[in-house]
Amino acid sequence: MLYESITYEDILSRMIRWVEDWAREQRISIDTREGSLIKTALSPAAVELKLMYMELDEILNETFADTATREFLIKRCEERGILVEKAKKASRQGEFNIDIEIGSRFSLNQLNYKVTERISEGVFKLECETPGSVGNHDSGRLIPIDYISGLTYANLSTTLVNGEDEEDTEHLRQRYFDSINSQAFGGNIADYKEKVNKLQDVGGCKVEPVYKGGGTVRVVLINSKFQKPSQELVNKVQKELDPVINPADKCGSGLGLGLAPIGHIVTVEAVNEMTIEIKTQITFQSGMSWNTAKPYVEKTIQQYLDELAKGWDKVNWEKNQYATLIVRISQLEARIIDVDGVLDVQDTTLNGIAQNFTLDRYSIPIWGSITNVG
């Protein structure tokens, strides 16, 4: 910080020197030793000045987006029309032995769920009444809050659209800088990414202009957990961008009924998943075996693939190119060897080939299994 190096002692010393300089000009003698009247009088002022410098440092930090705390970062973002994304409610699927009324409420553990839409016979969409990611996790037997005649089975199962917590500070800060680095305007790629990424449960997207000729656009999604999104989420984003008029079509109408500009026929799709089969030779330290280490190795591999998926939608704006994900053998081996009890890793193959695995532009890696041939 700019003023952090200025200490109380520095300030007091400068003040005393000013007094001594003045005394020499007046040709008088003034006592400035410890306990003297001058030093005793100047000390409280030096303390206040040090506090003032600390406040100036704080003001400087809050002035700039890269160092501002959440409160002042929000104010900085509002100047560019960027608002904090509020917590959103999870949409879940419930199965029942009978059709139930829309608006019926159920509880599971500490949360309540409200029926919002019928999907098919005995299958309904429920919304968690508590906003945030807390609504994504629980599954199992639902308890009706009010009596429902004939109900003998109620189960909460699939998450259709993930609930989201209020936007964290660093994500908001990154959105601020993204708004400066890439100018969103009138249906360009940056404009689509900005609009789509604001929608609930969207963790990122890739935009392909002129997908099938002029005026066509393809938007490929990944969800907020950086996994393949549900069809429910794909349909929701399609409706927001460019609603489908003819059910036989798999694309929008281009009539400007959503966020997409008039004339843009938008197709929304889910990211693909490509399975990675891993075979390797692991040597263990004495007392460690494959059966003991396997859960930790699997966790390490999953963390690596998750990291790759989080960078799936990153764009090099200078080259206007999306990142291409590569599962690297060197990275896998380096992470596996960090697992406690692992002595060495070698002869790793991905899908039967001893080389890095490059995914296509619209795919993320998931792993099917790992085999230790050691």
Q: Domain-by-domain residue ranges, the chain?
A: 8-63, 91-161, 183-270, 273-372
**The two three-digit tokens of residue 200, written as one number:** 């609930």
pLDDT value of residue 37: 85
pLDDT value of residue 353: 93
- Please report the sign of the dihedral spanned by the C-alpha atoms of residue 87, residue 88, residue 89, residue 92: negative
Q: Are the C-beta atoms of 278 and 347 separated by less than 8 Å?
A: no
pLDDT value of residue 117: 93
pLDDT value of residue 356: 95
Closest C-alpha among 219, 214, 263 to residue 238: 219
d(CA 115, CA 103): 5
Sorted by sequence, the CB contacts under 8 Å of residue 322 that are 6+ apart come out as: 206, 313, 314, 315, 316, 361
Residues in the chain: 374
133-144 pLDDT, tens per residue?
999 999 999 999
Is the predicted pLDDT of residue 116 greater than 80, yes or no?
yes
Question: Which residues, listed in sequence order, are joined to residue 220 by a DSSP beta bridge?
Answer: 206, 269
Sorted by sequence, the CB contacts under 8 Å of residue 107 that are 6+ apart come out as: 113, 142, 143, 145
Phi first, then psi, for residue 365 (nearest 5°) are -85, 140
Closest C-alpha among 164, 103, 102 to residue 132: 164
196-253 pLDDT, tens per residue?
998 999 999 999 999 899 899 999 999 999 999 999 999 999 999 999 998 888 889 9
Q: Are the C-beta atoms of 104 and 138 separated by less than 8 Å?
A: no
Q: Are the C-beta atoms of 305 and 366 separated by less than 8 Å?
A: yes
pLDDT classification of 319: cutoffs 50, 70, 90: low
Sorted by sequence, the CB contacts under 8 Å of residue 310 that are 6+ apart come out as: 203, 226
pLDDT classification of 322: cutoffs 50, 70, 90: confident
What does the mean pLDDT of the chain come to? Answer: 90
Sorted by sequence, the CB contacts under 8 Å of residue 271 that are 6+ apart come out as: 220, 221, 222, 228, 229, 312, 362, 363, 364
pLDDT classification of 316: cutoffs 50, 70, 90: low
d(CA 357, CA 18): 71
pLDDT value of residue 373: 83
pLDDT value of residue 320: 56
pLDDT value of residue 57: 87
Direct distance between the N- and C-terminal alpha carbons of the chain, in angstroms, rounded to an integer: 54
Mean pLDDT for the stretch of residues 181-190: 78
3-state helix, strand, coil in the chain (%, to 5): 35, 30, 40
Mean pLDDT for the stretch of residues 118-142: 94
d(CA 150, CA 171): 47
189-201 pLDDT, tens per residue?
888 988 999 899 9
Sorted by sequence, the CB contacts under 8 Å of residue 38 that are 6+ apart come out as: 16, 19, 30, 31, 32
Is the predicted pLDDT of residue 275 greater than 60, yes or no?
yes
Of the candidate ranges 90-94, 201-205, 242-246, 313-317, the one whose mean pLDDT is the lowest: 313-317
Is the predicted pLDDT of residue 336 greater than 90, yes or no?
yes
Phi first, then psi, for residue 92 (nearest 5°) are -120, 160
Is the predicted pLDDT of residue 51 greater than 60, yes or no?
yes
Percent of the chain clearing pLDDT 70 (strictly above): 96
pLDDT classification of 295: cutoffs 50, 70, 90: very high
CB burial of residue 71 (10 Å; 0-12, 13-18, 19+): exposed
Sorted by sequence, the CB contacts under 8 Å of residue 152 that are 6+ apart come out as: 97
**The two three-digit tokens of residue 87, written as one number:** 């917590």
Sorted by sequence, the CB contacts under 8 Å of residue 169 that are 6+ apart come out as: 69, 70, 73
d(CA 294, CA 275): 19
Q: Are the C-beta atoms of 196 and 189 separated by less than 8 Å?
A: no
**The two three-digit tokens of residue 217, written as one number:** 């656009």
